């Protein structure tokens, strides 16, 4: 191994959703090149949407990514309804909220326990981890299942919901089912806090620390929420959602099928659980607040590895909040179906929501017959990609600065841990597009 130059290549990153690799070129103790190489094929869904009827959008766009299918569904419906001027009823708003909570429980449970924790505990997969931590793994799978059950109940299916319609729902969940889900959520809280205690004992390495700009939506009410009213940065700026294109600047890079994003200032930034916690963690209450105290004893630090811990805090919040939402729904009378009437008209609408991996933007422009004129989707992973590369660079340099001989496998693990901490969703990331205005 020549000390002056070496390449670290991870051809196919494991335990992430989609297909990507990492290439790092090191000369001496400095990193010359960092590429998160995304070779996922494109499916061009957004372009294929052009000319489609708005009622088709959800069924198509949800299939950008399975893990995020409920999130894309809600974002798309919000954008379409904004374009058409459809007002959500309170029940529809509440049910969609529960759907998002279910999606977040499932996604976070999968990521924290099955994809990220094996690194911290020294296993190559959750299956290996199950041999030493059978109870924890079993609980995590139960929790993930519960997230799926919520999505099944509200969306009709755990992946690619079908019950979610523009203006309402095909079929509403009955009180019996809601009650059953509620009691399972209640039962999950204590073991979840047990997992928090276990994770709180794990040391978090410092080599990934770095000052970062965070972006998240301001919640629609004074509480920790996944739907918001404006875009906020950790530097105190605030922008209306409709101007998201001016806040989030996309650019294409040679080495990747996915576009990258930066702020207007040219700075890269991070969206996701850590960003939300940094900006709105003070809204948390109950057990979630307790969990945050345990996992972030010194407040939210700028270390991307802590995103895993932030997801765990959010898991507690989601379980707790889902119980409250179930109660709200149980207080409403049972009904078979809920749909608001609306008229088809030309319009443009944006839907922005906080999804497990960060802020997701959908925008559609419809013509007078309801056909798609333009579509634009900006996913959290695409927004994070530039920051991922920046964090990887720092991580490698910090480790090398330690002075000792560091072999490739150690560097590879560090790089993978950074990538995984972002919980990247590569399938989503390659579908960033803007259709209009050549």
Vertex 173 angle, CA 170 and 178, to 5° = 160
Exactly one of 6, 23, 25, 50 binds other proteins (CB under 8 A); that residue is: 50
- Residues from 332 through 391 that contact other proteins (CB under 8 A): 337
Q: How far is the CB of 54 from other proteins (least distance, A)?
A: 10
Exactly one of 6, 91, 142, 348 binds other proteins (CB under 8 A); that residue is: 142
Q: How many CB atoms lie within 10 A of CB 416?
A: 18
Q: How far is the CB of 41 from other proteins (least distance, A)?
A: 3
Q: How far apart are CA 130 and CA 53, in angstroms?
A: 47
248 makes contact with other proteins (CB under 8 A)? no
17 or 320, CB closer to other proteins? Answer: 17
Q: For 85, how many CA atoms within 13 A lie in the half-sphere containing its CB?
A: 6
Q: How far is the CB of 134 from other proteins (least distance, A)?
A: 9
Alpha helical stretches, state H, 15-123: 45-49, 54-61, 69-84, 90-109, 117-121
Exactly one of 44, 197, 243, 249 binds other proteins (CB under 8 A); that residue is: 44
158 makes contact with other proteins (CB under 8 A)? yes
159 makes contact with other proteins (CB under 8 A)? yes
277 or 418, CB closer to other proteins? Answer: 418
39 makes contact with other proteins (CB under 8 A)? yes
Contact 340, 89 (CB under 8 A): yes
- Residues from 256 through 295 that contact other proteins (CB under 8 A): 257, 259
Of 321, 305, 294, 375, the residue nearest 147 (C-alpha):
321
Q: How far apart are CA 360 and CA 276, in angstroms?
A: 13
- Strands 372-378 and 358-366 come out as antiparallel
Of 301, 261, 254, 259, the residue nearest 277 (C-alpha):
301
148 makes contact with other proteins (CB under 8 A)? yes
103 makes contact with other proteins (CB under 8 A)? no
Exactly one of 34, 35, 37, 40 binds other proteins (CB under 8 A); that residue is: 40
Exposure b/e, 194-218, CB count within 10 A at least 16 = b = ebbeebeeeeeeebbbeebbbbbbb
CA 67 to chain centre: 9
Interacting residues toward other proteins by CB under 8 A: 12-19, 39-48, 50-53, 55-56, 59-60, 63-67, 69, 110, 114, 124-128, 130, 138, 141-142, 144-145, 148, 156-160, 162-163, 165, 170-171, 252, 254, 257, 259, 337, 416, 427, 431, 433-435, 438
């Amino acid at each position: 191994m020549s000390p002056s130059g070496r390449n670290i290549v991870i051809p196919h990153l494991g335990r992430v959703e989609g297909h990507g690799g990492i290439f790092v070129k090191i000369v001496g103790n400095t990193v010359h090149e960092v590429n998160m190489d995304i070779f996922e094929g494109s499916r061009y869904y957004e372009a294929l949407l052009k000319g489609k009827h708005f009622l088709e959008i959800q069924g198509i766009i949800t299939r950008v990514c399975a893990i995020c299918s409920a999130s894309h569904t809600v974002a798309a419906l919000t954008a379409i309804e904004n374009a058409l001027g459809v007002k959500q009823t309170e029940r529809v708003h509440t049910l969609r909220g529960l759907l998002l909570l279910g999606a977040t429980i499932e996604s976070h449970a999968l990521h924290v326990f099955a994809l990220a924790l094996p690194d911290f505990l020294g296993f190559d997969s959750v299956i290996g981890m199950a041999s030493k931590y059978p109870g924890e793994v079993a609980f995590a799978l139960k929790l993930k299942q519960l997230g799926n059950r919520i999505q099944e109940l509200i969306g009709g299916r755990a992946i690619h919901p079908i019950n979610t319609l523009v203006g309402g729902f095909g079929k509403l969940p009955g009180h019996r089912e809601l009650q059953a889900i509620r009691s399972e959520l209640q039962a999950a809280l204590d073991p979840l806090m047990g997992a928090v205690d276990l994770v709180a004992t794990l040391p978090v390495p410092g080599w990934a620390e770095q000052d970062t700009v965070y972006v998240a939506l301001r919640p629609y009410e004074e509480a920790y929420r996944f739907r918001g009213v404006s875009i906020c940065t950790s530097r105190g700026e605030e922008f209306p959602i409709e101007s998201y294109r001016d806040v989030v600047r996309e650019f294409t890079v040679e080495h990747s099928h996915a576009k990258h994003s930066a702020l207007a200032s040219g700075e890269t930034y991070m969206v996701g659980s850590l960003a939300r916690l940094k900006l709105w963690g003070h809204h948390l209450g109950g057990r979630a607040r307790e969990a945050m105290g345990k996992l972030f004893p010194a407040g939210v630090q700028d270390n991307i590895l802590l995103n895993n811990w932030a997801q765990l805090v959010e898991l507690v919040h989601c379980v707790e909040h889902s119980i409250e939402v179930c109660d709200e729904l149980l207080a409403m009378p049972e009904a078979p179906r809920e749909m608001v009437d609306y008229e088809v008209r030309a319009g443009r609408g944006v839907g922005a929501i906080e999804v497990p991996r960060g802020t997701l933007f959908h925008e559609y422009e419809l013509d007078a017959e309801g056909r798609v004129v333009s579509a634009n989707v900006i996913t959290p992973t695409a927004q994070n990609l530039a920051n991922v590369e920046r964090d990887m660079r720092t991580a490698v340099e910090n480790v090398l600065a330690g002075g000792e001989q560091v072999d490739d496998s150690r560097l590879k693990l560090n790089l993978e841990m950074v990538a995984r901490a972002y919980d990247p969703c590569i399938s989503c990331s390659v579908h960033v597009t803007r259709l209009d205005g050549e």
